[in-house]
A and B are shown apart, each in its own frame.
Chain A
Amino acid sequence: MDVTDLLQLAIYGVVLGSILTLGAIGVSLLFGILRFSNFAHGDIMTLGAYAAFAVVSILHTPVWLALPVGMIAGALVAVAADQLVYRRLRRTQPVILLISSFGMALIIRSLVQLIWGPQDRSFIKGIDMPMHFGDLMVSPQQLWILGGTIVIVIAVHLFLTRTRMGKAMRAMSDNMDLARVTGIDAEKVIIWTWALGGALAAAAGVFLALDTRLTPMMGWSALLPIFAAAILGGFGKPYGAIVGGMIIGVASEMSTAVLPPAYKPATAFAVMVIMLVVRPNGLLGARR
């Protein structure tokens, strides 16, 4: 294990970190506004990836053209779940919403399995030759993932800082009552938050599928590291989620230098637990 190997792992880590970041931003935004951890987030990722896969396999478009379709599908499913179920449960304790989202996760996953079957799928047929930069290797897909994530994160940043809706979201996340007093339509903001979170999750799902394969379990398996990233960044803080995602991504990949790769999720979890004990409000979180 020399420096080149570690750098190579760091590159894989940044790629994984990009995927986790996109998932964690949505989890964090939803938590900020609705005060609950959405356990269906991973399965919205799965659904978005399969929706994009359907476009690619039926219309034979390139993946980047199918990505927006996947994101729209993710947004629609997230909003539908909210309108059909979560909306009616919002008055109860947040934990009831949590249980409900756990059930929603299974509903979405079994729908994916019913529509597309239990077998693995892949966006890419055959093997794409990786590109070499000195001793380091990067596959074209990984460059797409990095580039796509940067574009999406910048778009989210502009949305949150420049548009009325984005500002309203941040206001509600900071202080729900104060935001309502200023005349923000809370219901509308919640719907938009679901749409944004669902779309970002779907993008994360498409990228995850590009990096690995499509399976009905892919999103659920990514949920734990995504929560870890969101917690690390401070729940409710979308910008913290970027930092959290990168730390968890790099830590998970680097851990393979000393541990069997099967323990990657365990590394994410260990980082999260240490974080919870040392700084329960996250790296960027204020001490409340």
Chain B
Amino acid sequence: MSIDLSGLASYGVFLLTLAAIYGVVSLALNVQWGMTGLFNIGIAGFYAIGAYCAAIVTTPPSPSHLGGLGLPFGVGLLVAMAVSGLVAFLVGLLTLKLREDYLAIATIGISEIIRLVLKNEDWIGNGVRGIAGIARPLSANPLVYLAVVLLVLAATYLAVERARKSPWGRVLRALRENELGAQAAGKNIYRFRMEAFVLGSMIMGLGGALYAHFIGFVSPEAFEPVFATFLVWVMLIAGGSGNNKGAVLGAFVIWLVWSGTELLTNQLPADYVTQGSALRVLLIGVLLQVILLRRPEGLLPEERPHVGASPASSAEAEDEA
């Protein structure tokens, strides 16, 4: 019954799948920024690593790029996460002891270098021509893939939420709020930062892999690197950084707004259609400034522990943790 999808419904499935993939990446950024205060603007780099890993691991052997190992979908996801995590570890070794600005600049540098390498080293991913023919798991039906992506999103949400409530998550928030205090309490802040950075980047790689299987094609320019990074930031801030529900909500809301602006710019006279994408970026840029000025805590603000809460509720909070 779902085989004969009308155009609108199939567009809806397309939108939802991408929104859910962005939801995964937004959760990843929440681990790094929302929970730990690590400023990563190289999201697109880790996303690209994930996408290429998935492509190389799962496509059939090919002379035009690395591998074509022909392994299953799940293996691709794991490799994507492992390689993203490894790269994050190396970046972290160099930058996590430095000031936050330096981490920001270093991450943008890494993502730029990843893009340059993918573009210029043909043997890895066939250069600018990219890798095509990345199959979806189980079936080519977009509804099945939507279910797979939603399942991964739910699993990611549960894992990240569990991490947030754990003692580990509390240390992250402690060092975000007061680095010296956390250090004085005997926490090795460098180790905790590294764990959060690597975990977040692994999830970004996972998002990239999901994207590669959805679109079926990866190339260095397929992600609009800077813009993908920016969009994820807007999603997390709009949704409520520090709040995992907010991260997912933000991804869906901003993705719908972003797609909605496309409908808007399609109404433009033919002469201006080529300018449509610039207009959309402008709108999203302005939206971010308005959110930062008017509602910096986002749609679903971070739940903060209440000082002086009633004994009952604090006992409850302890149980949850």
* Residues of A participating in the B interface, judged by any CB pair closer than 8 Å: 31, 36-37, 39, 84-85, 88-89, 92, 94-96, 98-100, 102-104, 106-107, 109-111, 113-114, 117-118, 216, 220, 224, 227-228, 231, 235, 260, 262-263, 265-266, 269, 272-273, 276-277, 280
A95 to B237, CA, bound (A): 12
A108's nearest neighbour on chain B, judged by CB, is B285
Partner of A262, one of B37, B120, B282: B120
Q: Is the beta-carbon distance between A104 and B275 smaller than 8 angstroms?
A: no
Q: Is the beta-carbon distance between A273 and B106 smaller than 8 angstroms?
A: yes
A277 to B96, CA, bound (A): 11
10 smallest CB-CB distances across A and B, nearest first, come from A107-B285, A113-B278, A103-B288, A110-B282, A269-B109, A110-B278, A110-B281, A106-B285, A103-B285, A37-B101
Q: SS class of chain A's interface: helix, strand, loop or mixed?
A: helix
Q: Is the beta-carbon distance between A96 and B296 smaller than 8 angstroms?
A: yes
Give how many A-B residue pairs fall within 8 Å (CB-CB). Answer: 115
Give the size range of B's interface with the partner. Answer: 35 or more
Residues of A within 8 A of B170 (CB): none
Q: Is the beta-carbon distance between B41 and A265 smaller than 8 angstroms?
A: no
Residues of B within 8 A of A235 (CB): 101
B116 at the interface (CB under 8 A from A): yes
* Residues of B participating in the A interface, judged by any CB pair closer than 8 Å: 37, 39, 41, 94-95, 98-102, 104-106, 108-109, 112-113, 116, 119-120, 226-227, 230, 233-234, 237, 274-275, 278-279, 281-282, 284-286, 288-289, 292-293, 296
17 new A-B contacts at CB < 8 Å, known A84-B289, A224-B108 = A37-B101, A98-B101, A102-B41, A103-B285, A103-B292, A106-B226, A110-B278, A114-B275, A114-B282, A231-B105, A262-B119, A262-B120, A263-B120, A265-B109, A272-B109, A277-B94, A280-B102
Residues of A within 8 A of B99 (CB): 280
Q: Is the beta-carbon distance between B95 and A276 smaller than 8 angstroms?
A: yes
Residues of B within 8 A of A111 (CB): 278, 282
Residues of B within 8 A of A262 (CB): 116, 119-120
B37's nearest neighbour on chain A, judged by CB, is A95
Residues of A within 8 A of B285 (CB): 103-104, 106-107, 110
A5 to B86, CA, bound (A): 39
A157 to B284, CA, bound (A): 39
Q: Is the beta-carbon distance between B94 and A266 smaller than 8 angstroms?
A: no
Q: Is the beta-carbon distance between A227 and B292 smaller than 8 angstroms?
A: no
Within the complex, the shortest CB–CB distance from A278 to chain B, in Å, comes to 11
Q: Is the beta-carbon distance between B282 and A263 smaller than 8 angstroms?
A: no
A245 to B9, CA, bound (A): 54
A81's nearest neighbour on chain B, judged by CB, is B289
| Residues A99 and B101 in contact in the complex (CB < 8 Å), given A114-B278, A117-B275, A273-B106 | no
A95 to B94, CA, bound (A): 20
Q: Is the beta-carbon distance between A107 and B286 smaller than 8 angstroms?
A: yes
Within the complex, the shortest CB–CB distance from B91 to chain A, in Å, comes to 9
Residues of B within 8 A of A110 (CB): 278-279, 281-282, 285
